[in-house]
């Protein structure tokens, strides 16, 4: 390549061919940046010399699009393939789909939704409404709706995906069961427990028959159903499933695997809600110790396990132990996540509740004012977490005898709840103050 550049010039056809070959070698070595640099130069020169529609120019554009694709530069790849192949070509649609996944991973839900709607429309037109790629697009769009809290839109798409897969693949096909599980999750997030339970029971039973009782997908289904039972207050049914899932995961993965620890945490929460605080404490101590060993004391999961154990201590009236853990959790989340992170604010609220229950009203008030002010700033005055903070601070004012200040806050809370028309917003009032903010 160097010799041809010297003898023939940088824009000669043979020089450009050599550059293209070297770029392909870089591609095969995974040297994407080097390949991209050469391919951009070759493409631009061929566009100037041969024109944008010449076969050699188009070949170079295809290679460059592939290089972009392998680097995760979906927008650049999509643009080239759009020019090269047209908006409806399968490769263009694949690049568009990859770009939407990038937006999703970045939390850019609006941008992802816009592209996914376009992609779904094109696939429906080109492939038909029941094609597997069309159904995949519908599933991804439904997931984006879920992440935006657009439950009705997600539910509508997921029902369609599920029904079409049932017709095309059969009721027991893995893809059908997966779509049923997604719809159940949407029901779950809307509080439609009966609908969620019905689907989850069906998915669990089919997976037990098809995959066996110890398959990871079967255990996941059992865990999801247990969570639905918990939200319905069916503690005995939840406990039974969670013990089975925990024991099988411990056998398959080991007692210290993250999935095993998650199962233990869910079972501990069920024990808490049944008033089996000794059993809950025993599990949570084990979880905390293992996460500290595996992940380190500053990992978010470690802080979560410490916070859950502190909640059990609070429910047992072990305020000193709860306070010690909650101070540590708050300080670590402040360092790791920052002073305004939702988890930091939750840990501050939990510690304030422990202070309140010990009669440390000055310390409780100081924390509650900070939490309320930050949530007002970050979440707005009508957010449920903001209203909880306002209600907690009002309760502290009441206990301190500052009834005018308490009344002002409680009037604001009642007004904001009416504005939102959200009857499900739970405000923690003074007589509930032994309860923790952790959801």
Tokens 């605080």: give the residue: 277
Q: Is 22 helix (H, G, I), strand (E, B) or coil?
A: helix
Q: What phi and psi values does residue 88 have, to the nearest 5 degrees?
A: -105, 0
CB 420 within 8 A of CB 382: yes
Output 247 or 20, whichever has higher pLDDT: 247
pLDDT (average), residues 62-75: 78
Using 50, 70 and 90 to split pLDDT, how confident is the model at 93?
low
Nearest Cα residue to 364 out of 386, 328, 341, 392: 392
Amino acid 173: pLDDT: 95
CB 80 within 8 A of CB 68: yes
Amino acid 89: pLDDT: 58
CB 175 within 8 A of CB 193: no
Using 50, 70 and 90 to split pLDDT, how confident is the model at 7?
confident
Q: Is 109 helix (H, G, I), strand (E, B) or coil?
A: helix
Average pLDDT across the chain, whole number: 87
Half-sphere exposure at residue 62, Cβ-oriented, CA atoms within 13 angstroms: 10
Alpha-carbon distance of 91 to 34, in angstroms, equals 24
Amino acid 128: pLDDT: 93
Please tell me which of 56-60, 66-70, 383-387 the model is most confident about, judged by mean pLDDT.
383-387
Output 37 or 83, whichever has higher pLDDT: 37
Using 50, 70 and 90 to split pLDDT, how confident is the model at 54?
confident
**What is the residue extent of each domain of the chain?**
357-439
Residues with Cβ within 8 Å of residue 218, at least 6 apart in sequence = 204, 207, 208, 211, 212
Alpha-carbon distance of 271 to 381, in angstroms, equals 35
Please report which helix (H) or strand (E) contains residue 326, including its range. helix 319-337
Amino acid 300: pLDDT: 85
Residues with Cβ within 8 Å of residue 268, at least 6 apart in sequence = 279, 280, 283, 284, 287, 308, 312
> Does 401 score more than 60 pLDDT?
yes
CB 402 within 8 A of CB 364: no
pLDDT digits (tens, 9 = 90+) for 95-145: 666 666 666 666 778 888 888 898 899 889 888 999 998 999 999 999 989
> Does 277 score more than 80 pLDDT?
yes
> Does 426 score more than 80 pLDDT?
no
Residues counted in the chain: 439
Q: Can you count the helices (H) and strands (E) in the chain?
A: 21, 0
Other Cβ atoms less than 10 A from the Cβ of 247: the count is 12
Residues with Cβ within 8 Å of residue 343, at least 6 apart in sequence = 300, 303, 333, 337
Alpha-carbon distance of 411 to 426, in angstroms, equals 15
Alpha-carbon distance of 309 to 269, in angstroms, equals 10
pTM of the model: 0.69
Concatenate the DSSP letters of all residues of 210-249 into one string.
HH-TTSHHHHHHHHHHHHHHHHTT-HHHHHHHHHHHHHHH
Nearest Cα residue to 314 out of 352, 286, 364, 346: 352
Output 3 or 36, whichever has higher pLDDT: 36
pLDDT (average), residues 250-273: 94
Please report which helix (H) or strand (E) contains residue 388, including its range. helix 384-399
Alpha-carbon distance of 121 to 137, in angstroms, equals 9
Q: What phi and psi values does residue 73 have, to the nearest 5 degrees?
A: -90, 75
Other Cβ atoms less than 10 A from the Cβ of 372: the count is 23
> Does 423 score more than 50 pLDDT?
no
Amino acid 105: pLDDT: 64
pLDDT digits (tens, 9 = 90+) for 149-166: 889 999 999 999 999 999
CB 368 within 8 A of CB 392: yes
Burial class (CB in 10 A: 0-12, 13-18, 19+), 250: middle
Amino acid 147: pLDDT: 84
pLDDT (average), residues 43-53: 85
Measure Cα distances from 411 to 387, 390, 407, 423, 432 in Å.
11, 10, 6, 16, 19
pLDDT digits (tens, 9 = 90+) for 314-373: 999 999 999 999 999 999 999 988 999 989 999 999 999 999 999 999 999 999 999 999
Pairs from 125-129 (Cβ < 8 Å, separation ≥ 24): 125/88, 126/88, 126/93, 129/164
pLDDT (average), residues 397-424: 84
Structure tokens at 81: 């393939």
CB 183 within 8 A of CB 199: yes
Output 51 or 3, whichever has higher pLDDT: 51
Other Cβ atoms less than 10 A from the Cβ of 275: the count is 11
Using 50, 70 and 90 to split pLDDT, how confident is the model at 63?
confident
Measure Cα distances from 299 to 32, 49, 52, 266, 282 in Å.
34, 57, 53, 19, 21
């Amino acid at each position: 390549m160097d010799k041809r550049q010297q003898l023939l010039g940088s824009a000669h056809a043979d020089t450009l061919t050599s550059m293209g070959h070297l770029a392909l070698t870089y591609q095969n070595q995974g040297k994407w940046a080097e390949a991209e640099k050469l391919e951009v130069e070759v493409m631009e020169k061929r566009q100037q010399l041969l024109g944008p529609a010449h076969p050699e120019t188009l070949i170079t554009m295809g290679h460059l699009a592939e290089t972009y694709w392998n680097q995760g530069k979906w927008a650049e790849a999509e643009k080239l393939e759009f020019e090269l192949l047209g908006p409806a070509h399968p490769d263009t649609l694949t690049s568009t789909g990859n770009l939407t996944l990038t937006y999703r991973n970045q939390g850019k839900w609006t941008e992802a939704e816009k592209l996914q709607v376009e992609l779904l429309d094109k696939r429906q037109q080109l492939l038909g409404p029941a094609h597997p790629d069309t159904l995949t697009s519908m599933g991804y769009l439904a997931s984006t709706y879920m992440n935006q809290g657009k439950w009705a839109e997600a539910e509508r798409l997921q029902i369609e995906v599920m029904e079409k897969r049932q017709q095309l693949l059969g009721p027991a096909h893995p893809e059908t069961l997966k779509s049923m599980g997604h719809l159940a999750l949407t029901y779950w997030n809307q509080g439609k427990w009966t609908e969620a339970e019905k689907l989850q029971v069906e998915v669990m039973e089919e997976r037990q028959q098809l995959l066996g009782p110890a398959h990871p997908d079967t255990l996941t289904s059992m865990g999801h159903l247990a969570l639905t039972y918990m939200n319905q207050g069916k503690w005995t049914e939840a406990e039974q499933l969670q013990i089975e899932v925990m024991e099988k995961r411990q056998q398959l993965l080991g007692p210290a695997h993250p999935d095993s620890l998650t199962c233990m945490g869910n079972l501990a929460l069920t024990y808490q809600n049944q008033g089996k605080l000794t059993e809950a404490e025993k599990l949570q101590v084990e979880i905390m110790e293992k996460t500290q060993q595996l992940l380190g004391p500053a990992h978010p999961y470690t802080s979560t396990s410490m916070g859950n154990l502190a909640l059990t201590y609070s429910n047992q009236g072990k305020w000193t132990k709860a306070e010690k853990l909650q101070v540590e959790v708050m300080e670590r989340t402040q360092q790791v996540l920052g002073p305004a992170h939702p988890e930091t604010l939750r840990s501050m609220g939990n510690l304030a509740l422990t202070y309140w229950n010990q009669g440390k009203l000055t310390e409780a008030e100081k924390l509650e004012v900070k939490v309320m002010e930050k949530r007002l700033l970050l979440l707005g005055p009508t957010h449920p977490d903001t209203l909880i903070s306002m209600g907690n601070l009002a309760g502290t004012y009441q206990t301190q005898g500052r009834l005018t200040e308490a009344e002002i806050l409680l009037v604001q809370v009642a007004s904001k709840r009416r504005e939102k028309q959200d009857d499900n917003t739970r405000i923690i009032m003074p007589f509930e103050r032994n309860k923790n903010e952790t959801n």
